[in-house]
Every structure is written in C-alpha cells, then in structure tokens.
Amino acid sequence: MFRLARRFRPAVFALTVVSLGAGPVLAQSDPLPSWNDGATKSAIVDFVNAVTTEDGPNFVSPDERIAVFDNDGTLWAEQPVYVQLFFAFDRIKALAPEHPEWKTQEPYASILKEDFKTALAGGHKAIAEIVAATHAGQTTDQFAEEVAAWFSSAENPAKKRPFSKMNYQPMVELLAYLRANDFLTFIVSGGGIDFMRVFSEDLYGVPPAQVVGSTGKLTFEIKDGAPVLEKLPEVDFVDDGPGKPVGIQMHIGQQPLMAFGNSDGDLEMLQYTCLAPGFSFCAFVHHTDAEREWAYDRDSDVGKLDKGLDAASQNGWTLIDMKDDWKTVFPPEGGN
C-alpha cells in the first residue's frame, strides 16, 4: 500500500506532461470506470488524492510525481510468450529463405516447425540469439517500419485478438488518470526499447521519450549524406531485475513515486521505489483470471511472480487481483 512520510527529492527540471488519447475519455465522476469498487481502487485513488492535495501533509509537487510501469504482463498480456518474441518468430519465418541452414540449426529449426517450447529451451541465450538474428543488420528506422507493419495485423494465437487489443483497459485508464493529476508516466520494461517505442504512444499515451527498455548496440554513420543509426547483433543493456533501477537512474534521473509490475523481474523496481523512506505506492498486477486472460504466478515460465508475492505481503504493497478488481480486461476490439 503506501507509507505516510514524504520522501525528499532534489529539485529537478520541469518536464512537459504529454497526455494523449489512449482509450476513452474518462468520466469525472469515476476516473477508473473499468475497476471494481473495493480496497485496490480506493488505495490508488486515496494515494493520488493525498499527493495532489496542496494543503495536505503528503503533498508532492508535480515535478516529483513519477510513475513507472512494467509493460509485459502489467500493461498488456505476456502469455503464451512475450509479444516481442512473436514478432521475432515471424521475422525468422520471413528471413528463412535467405538462411537455408536454419532448417537444421537451433533454435531456428524449432521456430520454423512452430515448436516454440523447444526453441526457447535454451533460455536467455536462445532468446538473445533469436533477437539478434531478427533485429540487427538494419537501421533503426527500418526496424520501426517492420514493427509497425507487423503490429498492424498480428494477433495473439491463443486469444485470437490483435496484439494492439491485448493491452489492459484498466491500466490504460490508470495511466490517463495519473497524467490528469500531473504525473509523468514512464514504461520501464525488459522488452526492447526500439520495439516498444513504436506503439507506446498509441496504446498507452506514453511518448517514446518516456520509454525505458533493454537495448542493443548501435552504430552511427553518414550514408549518402544522411545520418544513419544501425542496429548491431550485440546486447548493450538488459532492463530487467536489478537492471530496472539502473535504467530508471540513467533515463529518468530520479526515484519514482509509484511503481507497477507483475513479476519477479519487477521486484527491484518496486524495492527501489518503496523501500526507501518516504511516501510511495507499489503494486503488482496478479494474474488470477483464467477465463478472461490467464491465471499464473509462482510456477509460470513467463511472468513468474514468486519472490514478488512474498515481498508484497511483507511490505504491504498492493496486489491488483485481475479477476476481482477489474470489470473488464481488454479494450473493445472495434474501439480506439
């Protein structure tokens, strides 16, 4: 939940709050219409009211109202595998004619057979190889165009929904609600920064400059008189686990006031936000809805929430129960 002593933060330069139309216009009478009334919704609203009441004991100036959100499993669905991996799988299929050796070489051979479990059996090493093979060797502009083209039609194979409609409507509302109360909202995710920046503004109202993610190495040169950034097949920074506080410091430069995650990969981000003395709010999205989404936590291969569950209990952090706290999970497929 939240503590009752305000944290000291050094003065920072004022940043422009960008609030764009991600989802429907929020009714003034209920800023979170897709949330069920209850302890979780009340905790969020009470905290926001506390930090925005100028004469209150816990008022926080707008330049200190930083809220950070994980992406996969927190802002959109991450099952049965991460969305970025689906993109990489489709890129491997598209590039396969140029690489006949992939027919027998792992993890590519299994991907071409759509045996994704075997393809990912190599863990982070296999994922890094897949990402390097499908993301590198092109300019950042070319990569963004590929992602946008893929994202316009790709769908989650388990739910038969477009990936562009696999974002969580309650979290879209929460982002907009915080921005309406002069928060700066940032995505801090283990996903690729160049990948997320393509859609973050359309899906969440979060501009590219407010996206923090894992990065591959880049090289800069002038080609035919034009500046070009090219993606290299090397990892530069992994924004996951203990990397998240590091990424926050590098990209944002101050401690968040609120943090939202869903897995053990977000634990250090919540610790960084809420274990320091001060007034803060931390929450995990708990996937409890097997009917509308998926139910998983401690034993999941994707989005495992084990240490985080224990930490939430020990530290009094909020657990957002997807089944009980959300009236709806996904936005209407025909909506904006």
pLDDT, tens digit, for every residue of 289-333? 999 999 999 999 999 999 999 999 999 999 999 999 999 999 998
Contact yes or no for 34/169 (Cβ under 8 A):
yes
Domain boundaries, the chain: 39-79+167-325, 83-156
> Would you state the structure tokens that stand for residue 213, as one six-digit string?
């993610």
Please measure the distance between the N-terminal and C-terminal CA atoms of the chain and give it in whole angstroms: 32
Give pLDDT, residue 129. 86
Whether the model pTM is above 0.85: yes
Please identify which residue in the block is written with the tokens 């598209």: 94
Question: Would the CA dihedral through 30, 35, 37, 43 be positive or negative?
Answer: negative
Mean pLDDT of 66-79: 98
Task: Identify the band that residue 335 occupies on the pLDDT scale cut at 50, 70 and 90.
Answer: low
- Report H helices in the chain: 39-52, 83-95, 108-112, 116-119, 123-135, 140-151, 169-180, 193-196, 200-204, 243-251, 267-274, 307-315, 322-325
pLDDT tens digits along 133-149: 899 999 999 999 999 99
CA 64 to chain centre: 21
Domain 39-79+167-325 grouped into CATH 1.20.150.20: no
